[in-house]
Structure 1
Amino acid sequence: MHDAVFEEAYHGHTIKIYHDLDPESPRQWSNLGTLICWHRRYRLGDGHQFDSPEVFLRDLAGVSDQSDLSMDQLRERAERKAIILPVYLYDHSGLAMNTIGFHCPWDSGQVGYVYVTLEAVREEFGVKRVTKALREKTEDILRAEIVSYDAYLAGRVYGYIIEHDGEEVDACWGFVGDYELDCLLEARRAVPALLPSQTRESAAAQARAHP
């Protein structure tokens, strides 16, 4: 077992937080959006068969290959049928991803799109019309999906082990993001309540340790 990134005594137990070395990609979850990327070295996002961003936008917009439209025009056409956000990758001593871009022009750039069709949005939320408010809500969901994938790419996936008297009593893995937000809180909730006799023993042990 590799070293814990965090350890604490909690209610007579020991909680240890570790990096999850074999995490499941968030793109295997039930996502609302589809993440389409192109990169010469990395296989990122969801699988697809589009040779280029232009081919993807033409397909999404329903525009033929013969039409003479710029990329901006293609995206404008595509946005009539889908909610689509650009996705950027930062590649320097690790990977990072977001939907707003990075300040370093040498090690970053747009790598793809995350999108969902308006038809899928209507089906997901059970509505006939995608309002401005629903569009904004959907964009927030897409951004949250990229936040989770960014944490996965950066290795910020964790698990916990709970021990009592040196014996493992519980464990859970696959917490994506900063471990203080979910992994540690869930571990504390999972700590079994001590029996009264165990509580007295713990108090006595602490008294002996601090006379």
Structure 2
Amino acid sequence: MDTTIKEVKDILEQVKEQLSGYGEESFEFDFLGATHKASIVYDTDPENPFKDWDHPKGSGIDLSNHRGYRPDSITEGAGIDVPEFLWWIGNDRPEEDYEEAEEFIQFEKEHFWTKVYMYDHGGRTVNITGFDCRWDSGTAGIAFIPKATVVEEGLYQAHEKMGEEQIEARGERFLEYHVELLDQWMKGEVYGWDVESEYPDQDDTSDSCYSYWGDQGREAAVEEVLSLLEVRLEEQWEKKPTYLINQNGNYFEVQGELDPEKLPGCKFYTTQDLMLREVVKDLNVDWEELADSAILVFDGVWSTMKDMTEVTHFEGSVEDFILGFEL
């Protein structure tokens, strides 16, 4: 938030607090006569990232160790018998009298790979570390990528002059990302945002955007909402009417720079012996019309109509205060 307008900054901080968190959230508020509603929502029709997006050559996720998946259910299969491969790994990679040992050895030589664990109970979630539930979780398959692809496509700035461990680290980073993406897709952790603004004197506006993936995507969606609202609220602030109220209860609209010479009278209520709220009661003013765009001035004490409890004290004359006040 780059705004220097305190009222706008305060509102944006409230919006951020209300929208931050998990899942869907909405926050509606009024500002200078307009009503704004900001929402973080689920993207109910997201793309399939494994069918609609481009991915590094030869990479994929094969969940065929789970009864509900074929080798090519998510991406192209690994090209090996994954259930048998996992059995082979779990039994210390036997070579003698094992028909598929050579094929599996070659696969490991050419690929970085990791086990994919799944928890499957009323919904599915996956990771590469495993789950505690022995009944509804287990090894569903593997994620894999050719070692040559990591270098050829420069994943995470990999290049052929890197050492083997550095290249392996970038391959493992991709596999972690790939499984995390699958997890987000399975759980529906894809978001969008919507901002609706209703104005009293101009056309209403509505903007939205979708396809924000995971927690980081959701945070990015909130930041975009704040950026959009910042623009809208600052535009309102620049256009807002500003009123000064004198001791007789009269108010007048100020356009542009404030000129003390044009002020009717120059005597304002003092709050030395009176509470500001009591003083306000004596003024003959249409509060509904002024809303929070009014500025009350009383002998160096001022407040907006919106919050009568927060009074800012200004040391100096009323004229000095007015000259220093920025619209």
TM-score range, shorter chain: 0.7 to 0.9
Is 1:124 paired with 2:186? no
**Which one-letter code corresponds to 2:61 in the other structure?**
L
**Where do 5+ consecutive residues of structure 1 fail to align?**
58-66
Task: Classify 1:209/1:72 alpha carbon distance in 2 versus 1 (closer, same or farther; 3 Å).
Answer: farther
Aligned length: 199
Indicate the residue corresponding to 2:127 in structure 1. Answer: 98
**Which one-letter code corresponds to 1:136 in the other structure?**
A
Q: CA RMSD in A?
A: 3.5
Task: Classify 1:75/1:87 alpha carbon distance in 2 versus 1 (closer, same or farther; 3 Å).
Answer: farther
Indicate the residue corresponding to 1:24 in structure 2. Answer: 47
Task: Classify 1:190/1:149 alpha carbon distance in 2 versus 1 (closer, same or farther; 3 Å).
Answer: farther
**Where do 5+ consecutive residues of structure 2 fail to align?**
1-22, 87-95, 243-289, 293-303, 309-327
Aligned-partner SS, 1:181? helix
Indicate the residue corresponding to 1:184 in structure 2. Answer: 222
Structure 1 residues 167-196: Cα deviation after superposition (integer angstroms, max 9, x where no partner):
443110111113642221232234461376
Is 1:156 paired with 2:189? yes
Indicate the residue corresponding to 1:34 in structure 2. Answer: 60
Greater shift in the superposed pair: 125-134 or 149-158: 125-134
Distance 1:127 1:197 in 2: 49
Report how far residue 77 of structure 1 moved. 3.8
Structure 1 residues 113-133: Cα deviation after superposition (integer angstroms, max 9, x where no partner):
111111211211273366211
- The answer on whether the counterparts of 2:61 and 2:78 sit within 8 Å (CA) in structure 1 is no
Aligned-partner SS, 2:135? coil
- The answer on whether the counterparts of 2:116 and 2:139 sit within 8 Å (CA) in structure 1 is yes
Structure 1 residues 128-179: Cα deviation after superposition (integer angstroms, max 9, x where no partner):
3662112112211210121122011111111101111174431101111136
Distance 1:159 1:122 in 2: 34
| TM score, norm. by length of structure 2 | 0.51
Distance 2:178 2:229 in 1: 30
Task: Classify 1:113/1:133 alpha carbon distance in 2 versus 1 (closer, same or farther; 3 Å).
Answer: same
| TM score, norm. by length of structure 1 | 0.76
Indicate the residue corresponding to 2:27 in structure 1. Answer: 8
Greater shift in the superposed pair: 180-189 or 48-57: 48-57
**Which one-letter code corresponds to 2:224 in the other structure?**
E
Indicate the residue corresponding to 2:107 in structure 1. Answer: 78
Task: Classify 1:202/1:127 alpha carbon distance in 2 versus 1 (closer, same or farther; 3 Å).
Answer: farther
- The answer on whether the counterparts of 2:63 and 2:69 sit within 8 Å (CA) in structure 1 is no
Indicate the residue corresponding to 2:118 in structure 1. Answer: 89
Distance 2:69 2:219 in 1: 29
Task: Classify 1:71/1:95 alpha carbon distance in 2 versus 1 (closer, same or farther; 3 Å).
Answer: farther
**Percent of pairs identical after alignment?**
25
Task: Classify 1:154/1:186 alpha carbon distance in 2 versus 1 (closer, same or farther; 3 Å).
Answer: same
Query: Larger relative contact order (C-alpha < 8 A, sep ≥ 6)?
Result: 1
**Which one-letter code corresponds to 1:102 in the other structure?**
F
Distance 2:234 2:220 in 1: 29
